[in-house]
Structures are given as structure tokens and as C-alpha cells.
Structure 1
Amino acid sequence: MATPLTADHLLAALRAEGVTVVEVGDWRTHNRDHKGAWGPVNGIVIHHTASSGTRDSVDLCYDGYDELPGPLCHGVIDKEGTVHLVGNGRTNHAGLGDGDVLTAVVGETALPRPTAMDTDGNARFYGFECVNEGDGRDPWPAAQLDAIERAAAAICRAHGWTAASVIGHKEWTNQKIDPLGFTMDALRARIARRLAAAARVTAPTAPFPGQDFFRAGTDSPLVTAMGRRLVEEGCSAYAEGPGPRWTDADRESYRRWQRKLGFTGADADGWPGTTSWDALKVPRSS
């Protein structure tokens, strides 16, 4: 079980995974929390919208309708591969499903066939609605499937989950058929490969040394390595350097990196944190 990501952390995780994100309206505070619990969270449910057109689909998922008020998910993934964030918190996407399925997701084990409708999925799952008519004929462009893979992998990575934490709506309840047009096993295989490949790539990177490391007048090759990565990311505030001693220029450069990831306010104060550090991928330094 996990505490839900904050809006800033969700946005940072998606962008760090290479997802193109559009923030819609007041998505950061748009939710159904007044109707029930949000969290602890255990996984991600993938849906199709049974609609066409990006704008209409995003509007529908943001606003909902009389019988089912919005938001209807956390993000809408369009056919061009853009994720439109429409909600943060409890959303009306999963509904009631099978508690045995939830148990399998928590344990990251094989899914049973859903038969019961005895568990509130809106409290326990992130949800992505993917623009598709859901008739088995509407195509799934490569860019859209890539974005679904990346978005799900981003949340899995943020929580330390495996691809087994990603399910289709039809795997949560026998009352639904979505998503239709690709198999969830194939999607989970793609997500697993992405998570495994990223683990291999990031193995040589430096782990987060803790905030005290930077607040103590640090003089270390790791600060230089961090500064070089900030320059590569277009976040430099350096007049010269970077060098091994932590300076105000390092903090301003890091603040720019936090803002690039989508952090705001106190979360973009220039002091490194675990999420932003992991996204920066600073090489190990001796």
C-alpha cells in the first residue's frame, strides 16, 4: 500500500518518464474526495473512453455527466500520446470491483477472473482514460500506446511497483469490456521492459545523499556532477562552473530543475529531494 502522489510529484514522475503533459483547469484540486476515501493506493486501471476526439473526450472526463460527475479519471491519453491531467485525488473511474483482484494487485500476483463487486476501486487505483471508440476497430496509434506505457511506468516507478500493478477495467469487474483493442498482458510486458531497462540505465547513477548533505556547506565531486547534469537539462544559473562546493548558483539551478519537473511553491525551493534527484540521474562520483 502507498500514500497517493501529490500533484507535483505525479507531474514530475510523468515528465521524468518522457510523457508530454497538459494540465487541464484546476486538476490539482479537482476530485471526489468529499464522497469517499482516496488511498492507500495499490495500482493503476487503464480504460478506453468509448468516445472520439481529444477535446470532447477531455471535457467529458473533466466534467462527467449528471449520473456520474467528474473527474472520471486522473489523466486522459489522446491518440497523439499526450496525457491531459484532469483530476488529482479520488475520481469516478473504477467503481466497484472484486476484492480478490485487489488482493492480487497488492501482492503483484496472477489476477483471478473478477466475479464480485464488493470493493471500492476509486479509493485504491489511479485511472487513465485512453481516447478510443472501444469498438475493436478504432486503431491504437503507436504514440498513444507508448504514452500509456510511459504513464503507467512513471507511477509504478514512483511507488516502487512492478507492471503487475497495472490492470484493465475489465480485469477489475466483469461489468466492463475496456480497454478493447490491445491486451493487458502485452501492455504489462511493455511496462516491465521499460522498468527493467531504466533500472539498468540508472544503476551507475548516484543515490540521493539526503538534504543535510547540501545544507552543510558541501564540497564534493557529487555537487559538480549534479551541476553538469543541470546544465545539460538547460537549468543553469551558473556564471562559472559548476564546481564541487555547493553555492547559491547550485540552488538556483536546482530550483529551475524542480520547476521544469512541475514542482511549485515550497516544493521548488532549490533544495534537492528524492524525486527530483532520481529524475536528474546524476552520475556516481568518487
Structure 2
Amino acid sequence: MATPLTAARLLAALRAEGVTVVERPGWRTHNRDHTGPWGPVNGVMIHHTVSSGTASTVALCSRGRPDLPGPLCHGVIAKDGTVHLVGHGRANHAGGGDPDVLRAVAAERYGTRPPPTNEHQGSPGAVDGNRHFYGFECVNLGDGEDPWPAAQTEAIVRASAALCRAHGWSAKSVIGHLEWSNRKPDPRGFTMPDLRTSIARRLGERPPGRPVDPPATGPGTPRHHPFPGTAFFRSGPSSPVITAMGRRLVAEGCSEYAVGPGPRWSDADRRSYARWQRKLGYRGSDADGWPGHASWQALKVPYTG
């Protein structure tokens, strides 16, 4: 159970995970919040669209249908792996589902699959999934024959992992629509246990916020310093990591340095980092200059040893 990410933090988390993102105009305030609560959130739900064509699908998922107003998800994952953000807040994607599934996902306690679902939209025991799940619609006809290109499946893994990483969830917080409602077949063409295995593998590559040496990489491959935690910066450290961070901020055009950067954390570092956060799309108190995991991952600070 968690407070939903702000639009800026959602965007930063996706980009930090290496997702190619396109922002549809107005997505940050496009939602159905006036019809019911958004949050606490418990996981991510994966769908297929039963459509083809990126532009038409993105437009449909943004505006919705006469019987179901948009947004119909938070992001559309195209066949080329691009994630098109269409909404932020409550979205009409999950509908009613099984409370036993919600409890299992919230606790992250189940085997390879959540318990069987026995509810659907409008059934007496259903609970509101639009309140509790982020939703990604994936462009696919859903007939079992339409292919899932590698770029698309990789984007599904990365987008799901990004939200899990941001919230500290495991792969068991990612479910398919068919695991939520007993009247839904999606996604069709791959299995959710296989998808969760891939997400878990990705999450194991870069544990969030753990200040340990990164894994060994091949010759010529740059190594990036793991996020050392917010407390590290608030302690006013003097470290080569601060110098490396400052050099990356200068390279990104976010310098507020009169002299430097140097190894001791300073107000110039904080103001420079705030510029970096604004460059990523953070706004207001989210761009306060104190590094967070997602923005740090996106900065790619070289490992200093």
C-alpha cells in the first residue's frame, strides 16, 4: 500500500529505468479523480488493447469511449517499446475485481499466481481496482496470434519494474487484468508468471537505494555509482561521489557552481541538483535539490571506486 507517485516522480522513475517516454499533452492532469479516490496504490496492472496502430490507440486510451470515459490507463506501451503517458490519477482501466486478489497483491504473498478471481465489475463482492492499480495498455489484438515484439515486452518489464522500484515493491505487485477480473482475458500471448520472473530479474539487477558496489561490467562499459541514500547528502558529506555528481550536473547544463564542483556537499550542489530535477520534469517540492533514487539513476554518476 502506497501513496501514488506524483506525475513528475512517475516520469522520472520510467526514464531512470531506461524507458522511452512520450508525454501526451495534458496527461499530468487527465484523470477520473472526480468520480472516486485514487490510492492508496497496491500494484501495476497489465492489459492488451484489442487494437492496432499506435496513434489511434493512444488517442482512444486518452479520450475513452462513449460508454467509458478516458483515460483508460496511465500509459500505452506501443509495439516499438515506447510508453505514451496519457493520464495521471484515477483511470478507467481495472474496474471491479476480487478482494482476495487485492489482499494477496498488497501483501505480496502468493505462489506463481494470485488466488483465483471470482469477481468482476458489477458483481456483489467486487472491489474498485481503478483506485488501487496503475494501468498499462499494451498495443495488441489479443487474439493469441498478434506478435509481441521484443522491444514491447522489454518495455513492459521496464515500466513495471520502474514503479515497483519507486515504491519498494516486488514483482508480485504486477498482475494481469485476467488475474483481477473473472471476465477479462488480457493480456493474451504471454503468461503473467513469466512476466513476473523477468521483472524480478530486472529488479535484482539494481536494488533500490542500496549503497553497495555495482556488479562487474564488461570492458569499456561505464559503471554508475548506486544511489547512496538521501541521508548521505543531508549529512553534509565530503566525498569523491559529490565531485562526480557535480561534473555530471555541469555536463547536463544544470550548473549553479561559481567554482567547482568539489567534494563537499554545498548549497551550489543542491541548487544544481534542483535544476536537474526540473529538467526531468519535477515541480514544486519534488524539485527541492535533495537527490532521490529515480533522479540519481537518471543522472548516471560514474562510479568512483
> TM-score, structure 1 length as denominator?
0.89
Please list, as runs of the form range in 1=range in 2, the aligned pairs for 1:235-274 lying within 5 A after superposition.
235-236=254-255, 241-247=260-266, 249-273=268-292
Query: C-alpha deviations, 1:251-282, integer Å up to 9, x for none?
Result: 45323421342213443354434543465465
Counterpart of 2:205 in structure 1: which amino acid? A
SS of the counterpart of 2:231? coil
Match of 1:24 in 2: 24
Query: C-alpha deviations, 1:204-259, integer Å up to 9, x for none?
Result: 33222266445xxx654442232244356564555763212345653453234213
Distance change (3 Å), C-alpha of 1:285 and 1:105: same
Match of 2:222 in 1: none
Offset, 1:25? 1.9
Match of 1:149 in 2: 157
Kindly tell me the number of residue pairs found equivalent between the two proteins.
283
Match of 1:115 in 2: 118
Offset, 1:59? 0.4
Distance change (3 Å), C-alpha of 1:38 and 1:6: same
Distance of 1:99 and 1:72 partners within structure 2 = 22
Match of 2:104 in 1: 104
Counterpart of 2:119 in structure 1: which amino acid? A
Distance of 2:299 and 2:235 partners within structure 1 = 17
Match of 2:223 in 1: none
The correspondence for 2:179, drawn from 168, 171, 187, is 171
Once the two structures are overlaid, the 10-residue window that deviates more, 244-253 or 91-100, is 244-253
The correspondence for 2:197, drawn from 180, 189, 196, is 189
SS of the counterpart of 2:230? coil
Distance of 1:283 and 1:261 partners within structure 2 = 19
Once the two structures are overlaid, the 10-residue window that deviates more, 247-256 or 69-78, is 247-256
Counterpart of 2:198 in structure 1: which amino acid? R
Q: Would the aligned equivalents of 1:208 and 1:277 in 2 still touch at CA under 8 Å? A: no
Counterpart of 1:83 in structure 2: which amino acid? V
Counterpart of 1:203 in structure 2: which amino acid? V
Distance of 1:199 and 1:224 partners within structure 2 = 24
Distance change (3 Å), C-alpha of 1:194 and 1:87: same
The correspondence for 1:203, drawn from 191, 200, 212, is 212
Please list, as runs of the form range in 1=range in 2, the aligned pairs for 1:43-62 lying within 5 A after superposition.
43-62=43-62
SS of the counterpart of 2:47? strand
Match of 2:220 in 1: none
Alignment RMSD: 2.5
Counterpart of 1:100 in structure 2: which amino acid? D
Once the two structures are overlaid, the 10-residue window that deviates more, 136-145 or 227-236, is 227-236
The correspondence for 2:139, drawn from 131, 135, 157, is 131
Identity across matched positions, percent: 66
